[in-house]
Every structure is written in structure tokens, then in C-alpha cells.
Structure 1
Amino acid sequence: MDATPAVRLDGVSKQYADSYAVRDVNLDIAAGQFFSLLGPSGCGKTTSLRMIGGFTDPTEGAVLLGGEDVTALPPNKRNVNTVFQSYALFDHLSIADNIAFGLKRKGVDRAEIRRRVGEMLELVQLSGQARRRPRTLSGGQRQRVALARALVNRPAVLLLDEPLAALDLKLRRQMQVELKQIQREVGITFVFVTHDQDEALTMSDRVAVMNEGRVEQCGTPEDVYEHPTSRFVASFMGTSNLMAGTYRDGAVVLDQGPALPVGQRDGMSDGTTVSMSVRPEKIWLSDFEPGMEVLRGVIRETVYSGPTTTYLIELAPGVTLSVLEQNTARARMEDRWIGGETVEFGWRPEHCLVLS
């Protein structure tokens, strides 16, 4: 089995004047993977994507596609295609002609073009719409046309630069599922740029979380969410209760508040400045198990969000935790806590993360 990565960034940096947009990034993206570059605006994810596509030249390092160094090659010499946020469709052309545009420029014969365009229309569920113009389509349909136009060229790697950002929330969630299904069906490596954590978790086989031009952590969605390796990743990947303190004798002594037992931590010595993290959905408000650390606090805010209710609980002055509870079929409105009530809450020791 060939283990050559579909994409390799080898010590890649991009410098503008005195600042770095990307700094010393090393990434291997396996063939057939749905890989996401995730991070806030300005973290370097789009610059990294553009260097893979050949639209931006790295200041240092090398870009390899399928084991071949393509750092010096222009975009049209790389076996990649890109789907942009704007879609960049030609409104004067039909859907079919938009999809066929790249094939015609390559001189592919008409019969082959018709066959491949028909395959793509079926793949993106637009069969029977071939003669329509892009301006008559919905946002989701336009996104499908842009995807088909890129895939019809059979690239080894498809680059996607926040292609769902312009869609409303409901359609965006629908397209997330469809895009992942299409990627599995065609088996092409997708490199997807997004600032949306839920999007990356939903769609990706692997995620690289970027911050200030560097990769902070790379792994499966489960690894990155459940086992963040830095304070930034813990705070950026969903909601996390981060509390600053000092590790001492198997507990974190909060800067503001009590000492919270966390158990002995390998390689961590007393006096280490740490951040302690517990996800809101990992905190229990009832039915505590043996071995749980049970605390008391005061409800300061109750936020109803349909499927869930979030409680903001004051543990100590200046220390407020977010607790997420599912609104199950057995839950009643009158059973929810209200502001000012004192409650007990706790968590399993293994769900408490301590970051030095």
C-alpha cells in the first residue's frame, strides 16, 4: 500500500515584510482524506491553502503533491482544483457549460465532455437542470455547480476555501453532510478551510487547528476536541470552562476560588502554573457517581436553546462555569433551575483536563 501523502507541507513559511502569515508548518495529508484547516481569521489557514494550490509562493519550505515537489510550479501545472467562497461561476453560461469549461480548455472531445458533465450533474443532484443559468439557482445549488466544475477535472486534491460561508445555517448544515458524502463517493483528497469548529468536527477525518501562523494541534476531530494540547485549542474548539491556577498535591488551586482535586498528573510538578478545563456537557447536575468531585455553586443565568439548557453557575467570586444539560423528553420546564438557586454539580476525574 502506497503511504505517500497526497499533500505534504515541509517546513513551509510565508513572510510579508516583518511578519509571518504562516510559520514552519509541517503537515502530511493522506490520500482520500477529508482534511480541515481550522482557525480564527488571520491564523494562516487560507495562506496555507493558497500555497498548496500554487497561488502563493512560500518564503521557506516545500510543497509536495503525491511525493512530487511542486513548490516552483504554477497552479495550472498542479493536479489540484479550488472551490472558492464566491464560487466564481460564469452567469452567461449554462450550468452544463460552467461544469464543462475546464474540459473544453483542455481539448477533451465532445462525447467525453457530455459523459463527464452528466456524471457530475448526477453526483451533485442537478440532473435535469443543465440548461439553467447560475443566477436562477439557490445558494446551495450554486455551491453544487462550483463543486461539480472542480471535480469534473478529476484532480488528485480538491481545495475548498470556506465554500459554505455564504449559506444560511440550515442549508449550511445540509451541505456539510452532502459534501462529506460526495467526498466519500469520489475518493478524492479534500483540503477544507473553515473558521467554524462545528463544521470541521462534522466533516473531517483529520483537523489541523492553526493559530498565529502555526499548527497548534493536528488529529482526529475526537482527539482535538476531547484531548486539546494547549489552552488555545481547548478554548477554540467549542465551549470550555478554563480556570487558571497552580498545580499542587494532585489538585489545582485556582487563582480565584478553591482547590479542585484532579489527581496526580504525570510529569507535572508542584507549583506549575496551569489551566484547568472541563467541557460544559461533561458536568453533571444530578445522579452523581462514586469518585466524583461534587461542588456547590449559585445559578446566575439560565439560557434555554431548544434541545439544551445552559446554566451559568458561580463557583466562587470571579469564577463562573457553563453547564450544558439536554432537554430530554422527561424534562419539564418547572424542573429547571432558576437564577439565585444553589445547586450541586460535579464531573468525572477523567473529564478534567490540566494544561501546563
Structure 2
Amino acid sequence: MQPDPKTPEHPRTPEHPRIQRPVPPVPVRPAPAVRLDRVSKRYPAGGGAYAVREVELDIAKGEFFSLLGPSGCGKTTLLRMIGGFTDPTDGGVLLDGQDVTGLPPHQRNVNTVFQSYALFEHLSLADNVAFGLRRKGVARAEIRARVRGMLDLVQLGHLADRRPATLSGGQKQRVALARALVNRPQVLLLDEPLAALDLKLRRQMQVELKQIQREVGITFVFVTHDQDEALTMSDRLAVMNEGRVEQCGTPEDVYERPTTTFTASFMGTSNLVPGTYRSGRVTLDEGPELLVGQRPSVPDGSRVNLAVRPEKIWLSDLEPGMARVTGTVRETVYSGPTTTYLIELAPGVTVSVLEQNTVRSRREDRWSGGERVEIGWKPEHCLVLD
């Protein structure tokens, strides 16, 4: 039997050893900074109502992660379980791969910034920031260096000797942040820390807080009920409702591609128009049949909500291929940069349409109440929600 010329044999001799192909190493994924393993919290613990129910989340190291939802949705309870202020009824909390469930707050490498600043009014800013380091027995020279660096980071180094009573709300919040960060926690928990500030200062602090987080590289877990705040600051966010996570993803994913009716309506403004789905089209109640660009996981004949954002709807210069529907202008709301039109499509069904006021916009070009208009949107800009 002749050997196959395509696969020549080599004698197994010291001069011709068998070639061993290197085995590629299996990539090792680092443990997340925070892992919530099906955590639940019930009040009372013996079988009462759920405040948090079977939440599973991984928060990566160095991530700015937000817990977003209305009052009573469980977001603060979830934060308190991460910090050790509340024990879960079921499930576990892991920090950097270590199970810390049941450990008190001082045994976890986390710090918390609350809505109330809780500063010591009789101490200077420098002494407020140094308080935790002194309790840990850190050397004086290191305390001075770390406090000076942290106050400079929050742009308050020149006020180190001042007392908290002389500061503005935004400055006090910076001191509270510096006091938490100076301990170099593994995770920083923030429970609606900007809620007490006025709108202009809150927006300024949102930008500054994100910049500080990027500079220090610490994982931030941020609780808020403000959708704009979460969209502005987060790398990822979890939308919570009635103790559960409705949707988790990047701000763009959650806003542009909501997976539930609750997320679509809670994240900004979304028009929800009822209808019936069949074969790639939705027939509106008392309205036309419209093509949709999404293939939803619902059977034909299902009752659905057609969701489309106000800024995705066109009021003029409609293009071929758009979904089109006619309605009556019921209200015009001028808001400076934008004008919002409330348009009734059918009794009880009103949609909001947002138009930018550009340099070419004129007051006389705005639609008036009672006018019949045709609106439209591109099929790919609407979602079908069960």
C-alpha cells in the first residue's frame, strides 16, 4: 500500500519530532465590580410584598451605571443592598467576585453619597474630607496629600479652610463627593445626589460628575428618577418598575429601542397608538393600516401599541414610503428651541409632534388649533410593543 503523497509520513526520530500545535489560551473574563445574583427584598421578610424581585445585574469595573425608575420602583432598596445597609431576603451580592451578602457596610469597600450632604458643620472642608482617613489611621502626610488632591479634583482646593455653612449647594455636594472618593472605594454609590439642586446647577454637576468619574476610574452606581440625567451620565442603565428590571442597556439602546411599553413611555415622551398587528403591518383603531420596519415577536392578530417618538414624526415635506395618518391639531406649545403640536388622530388618541425652531422658522408658518394635517414617519422609526 503506497502512502498518500498529500500527507507524507515523517519518521518519529529525535531529528523529526512530532510538531505540537500551541493551544490558544482560554480568555479569562474579569469579575464584575458588582454582581446581583437574583436578589429579592420583601417587607416584612416573612412573606410580605416585594420591594425588589429577582434582580440579576452585572456592573463592570469603571462603569457609570444608573438605576432609573419612578418612586417606589425599588432602585434605592437595590442600592442599599449593594452598600450593606439592607440585607436581601433572597439572592446574593458580590463585589469583585467576593460574596459580601450579610457583611455590614464598614466591611465592604464601598462608599455612599446621599442626597443630604451630611457634612460636619464645625469642621473645615479639609477636615470633612480627611475624616474617614483619620478613622482608618492613615499617616498624616498621606492624609494631607490625598485631601489636597481630592479637593483640587472637585475644584475646591482654594476653599480648604472654609466651613460648610459658607458654601453653595453645588459646592457642598462636591465636598461630599470628595469625602467619599478620598477613601478610594471599589464602588461609589450615589443616591439621587443632585435632586436638591436647581435645574441649571444640576445640569452643570451632571457634566462635572461624569468627568470626575472618568478621571478616578471608580465604578459609580447612580440612583435617579430623572430620565435626562440617566441618559446624560450613564455608560449603561437599568430601567426599574415594581421591583424588577424592565430593560438594561446603553442610553441609546434603551431610548431608541425600548422593549416594553413601560420603558417606551417612561424614557422621555413616546406616542403609544393602539392597533392590531398582522404580517408586518399595524392597523390602527379607527385608522389606516401602516407598514412597520420591525418584525415583532407577536403572532398575527395581536393587540399592540405602535410606539413612535415625537421628534421622529414629520409635519411637512413627507417622503415617499412613509407611514401616513391624518389628524387635527388640538394644541400648539411654543418652548423656545422647539414647538410641540398635540394632534388628535381619533377620539381619545392624541400624539405629540416635536419640531425644531430653526432660523428659517416663522411664527406664521406654525399650525393652528383645529387645522387638519397629515403627519408621517419612516417605518424603521416606529416600534411594535406587546
Superposed displacement of residue 264, structure 1: 6.8
Question: For 1:57 and 1:330, how far apart are their aligned partners in 2?
Answer: 58
Name the Cα RMSD after superposition: 1.2
Q: 1:256 to 1:40 in 2, by over 3 A?
A: farther
Is structure 2 residue 375 aligned with structure 1 residue 348?
Answer: no
Q: Which residue does 1:9 correspond to in 2?
A: 36
Q: CA separation in 1, counterparts of 2:71 and 2:94?
A: 25
Superposition TM-score, scaled by structure 2 size? 0.90
| Residue deviations 1:265-323 (CA, integer Å, cap 9, x gap) | 25432211211100000001122222112222111100011111100011122211100
Which residue does the alignment assign to 1:232?
262
| 1:305 and 2:346 correspond | no
The structure 2 residue matched to 1:84, chosen from 83, 104, 114, is 114
Match of 2:142 in 1: 112
Check 1:32–1:347 CA distance in 2 against 1; reply closer, same or farther (3 A cut).
same
Per the alignment, residue 93 of structure 2 pairs with 63
Q: Is the 8 A contact 1:55 1:74 kept in 2?
A: yes
2:178 counterpart of 1:171: no
Contact 2:227-2:268 within 8 A present in 1 as well: yes
The C-alpha deviation readout for 1:14-63, integer Å capped at 9, x for no partner, is 01122010000000000000000000000000000000000000000000
Matches of 1:345 and 1:243, distance apart in 2:
14
Question: 2-side partners of 1:54 and 1:16: how far apart?
Answer: 17
2:350 aligned residue: 320
1:208 to 238, 244, 248: 238
1:1-356 → structure 2 map (5 Å cutoff): 2-17=29-44, 18-262=48-292, 265-356=295-386
- 1:299, 1:52 → 2: CA distance? 49
CA distance in structure 2 between the aligned counterparts of 1:7 and 1:187, rounded to whole angstroms: 15
Amino acid at match of 2:97: G
How many residues are aligned here? 356
- Which whole-Å CA distance do the structure 2 matches of 1:282 and 1:168 have between them? 30
Deviation at 1:158, TM superposition (A): 0.2
Q: Any idea what the Cα deviations from partners look like across 1:82-109, whole Å, max 9, x if unmatched?
A: 0000011111111111100100100111
Shift of 1:196: 0.3
Q: Are residues 36 and 266 of structure 1, via their aligned partners in 2, closer, same or farther at CA, if it must alter by over 3 Å? A: closer
Say if 1:249 and 1:264, in contact at 8 Å, map to a contact too.
no
SS in 2 for 1:128: helix
User: Equivalent pairs: percent with the same residue?
Assistant: 79
Q: CA deviation at 1:263?
A: 5.3
Larger deviation: 263-272 or 99-108? Answer: 263-272
Contact map agreement 2:40 2:51 (CA 8 A) in 1: yes
Report the Cα distance in structure 1 between the residues aligned to 2:270 and 2:106, rounded to whole angstroms. Answer: 43
Q: Contact (CA 8 Å) 1:63, 1:69: kept in 2 or not?
A: yes
Q: Shift in Å at residue 67 of structure 1?
A: 0.3
Q: Secondary structure at the match of 1:52?
A: helix
Counterpart amino acid of residue 54 in structure 1: G
Distance (Å, rounded) in 2 between the aligned partners of 1:180 and 1:152: 17
User: Structure 2: which 5+ residue stretches go unaligned?
Assistant: 1-27
The SS at the match of 1:345 is strand
SS of match in other structure, 2:212 = helix
> 1:2: Cα distance to partner?
5.0
Over alpha carbons, which structure has the higher Rg? 2
Structure 1: distance between partners of 2:76 and 2:157: 32
- Does structure 2 conserve the Cα–Cα contact (< 8 Å) formed by 1:257 and 1:319? no
Distance 1:333 1:267, change over 3 A: same
Per-residue CA shift, 1:81-137, capped at 9, x if unaligned?
A: 000000111111111111001001001111111100000111000011011111110
94-103 vs 246-255, which moves further: 246-255
CA contact (8 A) 1:256 1:318 kept: no
* 1:4 partner amino acid: A
